[in-house]
Structure 1
Amino acid sequence: MSTNATPASSTDPLAALGALPGVADSVGAVRTSIDRVYGHRIMRRRSNEVTSEAALRGARGSAALAGADWALEEVRRRTDFGTDPQALAVGAALRLTAEAGQLLSVWRQSPLRVLARLHLVAAGGGAADETVGRPRLAGEAVDEPLIDAPLPDADEVNGRLEGLAELIVVGTAAPALVSAAVVHGELLALRPFGSHNGLVARAAERIVLIGSGLDPKAICPAEVGHAEQGSAAYVTAFGGYLSGTAEGMAAWIAYCGRSVELGARESTAVCEALQRGAA
């Protein structure tokens, strides 16, 4: 992460981001939205169904930002994700969402290992492709059409990935929303893999939100909110992260918070629909 928002603390550099203007409000709004879903009566007996539906909708949202904006029912019914680029993106998003929950215990000890695994899963195995599951080397191309910001070189990527991993392992007093937003933004900025960087970044954000205890049942998918706000808003907010300014970082964190709120709203609607069906 590279930011000139405030002087970084040597012990907890993310804590300063939590103190930026407006961030506390975003954190509070996210907490309120999540508490509302968890307090819904349907969660007492059908939370697994809500979690499953949230995973499906989150995958659909992430795939939409990767260029495959399919209707939810199309994602639900399809079993063949073949070789068509859009189908491949949807398949990758579904696999990542399923895999994220299996990597929570590893994330805090070995985040780079998790990122490698996420890329391998997104690529569908790719055992014959030596670029899969490792950061790109000098001169290797990156396929990430949504993000056209300047691409850091391989040495910078490796250094910043190590720095990000250290922050995750050491831990932070910053709110989970701040940590998730930084992980998401940094991976988008670095685009460390030859492909699927956006999908991996959003899956990593999901892991932070779940593993931090903010959304332990994975029922408030930020990916839904990212898709609902649209690709233009996503790219604009990400520009704030890239700027490294206090205003830009706060705007990116607020944007990510709003995405979680929209994900929570989506799951509240799912709860309401399940309740009507039960009645």
Structure 2
Amino acid sequence: MSTTASDASSAPRPEDPLATLAALPGVPGAVDSVRKAVDRVYGHRVMRRRSGEVTSEAALRAARGSAALSGADWALEEVRRRSDFGSDAEARTVGAALRLNAEAGQLLSVWSQSPLRVLARLHLVAAGGAGVSDRTVGRPRLAGEPVVEAPGAGAAAPAGGGTVVRSDGASVAEVPNAEVPAPVPPVGTPLPDADEVAARLDGLARLVITPSAAPALVTAAVVHGELLALRPFGSYNGLVARAAERIVLIGSGLDPKSICPAEVGHAELGRAAYAAAFEGYVSGTPQGMAAWITHCGRAVELGVRESTAVCEALQRGAA
């Protein structure tokens, strides 16, 4: 979806594209279901005294889920016990996801004023120590620069093998499919050129900072989907997109303590369902957009379920 928005003002816009999306069939129900689920977990008795522990556990599980969608599907206990995240591409992906979740909460105030600064910072954090050239880190890609989602011992490819593409559409390397599982959406999704990326990022930023009547779920889903579609950076775009979704959900007040990890739900719903829902976003049709937003809503609900289980375990003394 190519985002456009008018200049920011102190009141919601007469033309509010996010509010229009919020009214699509199925979306109001998803929004209501998410709100009720979030309210329930925030009302859990464990949250009165031990919310910090729930937040920490949610962050760990969110990082594991996001990394799994980017091709590094590690068991939770493996993520918990590891201290070295620089040994190979999968380890670097997990490390990047952990760093992003630690950083997201520090960027809330900046996000509401300058989303592009936050996105640059997120990419810088994700790519730290990944061996990515300094000139490509923390800025949108330029014409001819490749997109390699998981830098390291081989790049991610579509299922069955494939090519890594430059932003002008030319292939630059054949990639064996056995080295690193493909992140989703696959690299074969049409890649916007650098000029289109710049224009649409500007539109997304305007959309974010301009007041809207849309619920947080809708804004978060659009931010997430647009960043997946653009792949604005040379690496780690999926991780950055999901971290940005998290920032919207926290900063909006829907999940202020960051205990409802949508990344867990996205991973639980599965890579195929994630990719299929994203195709709806890319289509730009009302049905496709509604399908993507409701998919994101279900992911939040599953994240709530995960944190509710953590609360129950803490209450029993089992965690």
Superposition TM-score, scaled by structure 1 size:
0.95
For 2:315 and 2:14, how far apart are their aligned partners in 1?
A: 49
Match of 1:51 among 51, 55, 61: 55
For 2:2 and 2:232, how far apart are their aligned partners in 1?
A: 15
* 1:36 counterpart SS class: helix
Match of 2:114 among 110, 114, 124: 110
For 1:127 and 1:65, how far apart are their aligned partners in 2?
A: 21
> Which amino acid is the alignment partner of residue 184 of structure 1?
H
For 1:68 and 1:104, how far apart are their aligned partners in 2?
A: 27
Deviations 1:95-153 (A, max 9, x none): 00000000000001000000000000000166852000000001111124432210001
Residue 204 of structure 2 aligns with which residue?
164
Residue 69 of structure 1 aligns with which residue?
73
What is the CA distance between 1:82 and its match in structure 2? 1.4
Residue 260 of structure 1 aligns with which residue?
300
What is the CA distance between 1:178 and its match in structure 2? 0.2
Residue 177 of structure 2 aligns with which residue?
none
Residue 244 of structure 1 aligns with which residue?
284
For 1:201 and 1:159, how far apart are their aligned partners in 2?
A: 17
| Residue 140 of structure 2 corresponds to residue 135 of structure 1 | yes
* 1:135 counterpart SS class: coil
What is the CA distance between 1:13 and its match in structure 2? 1.3
Give 5+ residue unaligned stretches, structure 2: 4-12, 150-181
Residue 123 of structure 2 aligns with which residue?
119
For 1:36 and 1:264, how far apart are their aligned partners in 2?
A: 9
1:6-85 alignment to 2 at 5 Å? 11-85=15-89
Match of 2:270 among 202, 207, 230: 230
Residue 2 of structure 1 aligns with which residue?
2
* 1:79 counterpart SS class: coil
Residue 94 of structure 1 aligns with which residue?
98
> Which amino acid is the alignment partner of residue 253 of structure 1?
I
Deviations 1:60-112 (A, max 9, x none): 00000011111111101111101301100000000000000000000010000
Structure with the higher helix share, 1 or 2: 1
| Residue 276 of structure 2 corresponds to residue 272 of structure 1 | no
For 1:198 and 1:206, how far apart are their aligned partners in 2?
A: 13
What is the CA distance between 1:171 and its match in structure 2? 2.4
> Which amino acid is the alignment partner of residue 26 of structure 2?
G
| Residue 251 of structure 2 corresponds to residue 211 of structure 1 | yes
For 2:133 and 2:282, how far apart are their aligned partners in 1?
A: 34
For 2:318 and 2:94, how far apart are their aligned partners in 1?
A: 31
- Root-mean-square deviation (CA, aligned residues, Å) is 1.5
For 1:239 and 1:262, how far apart are their aligned partners in 2?
A: 21
For 1:26 and 1:128, how far apart are their aligned partners in 2?
A: 42
Residue 191 of structure 2 aligns with which residue?
151
Give 5+ residue unaligned stretches, structure 1: 4-8
Question: Which is worse superposed, 75-84 or 51-60?
Answer: 75-84
What is the CA distance between 1:2 and its match in structure 2? 2.7
Residue 6 of structure 1 aligns with which residue?
none
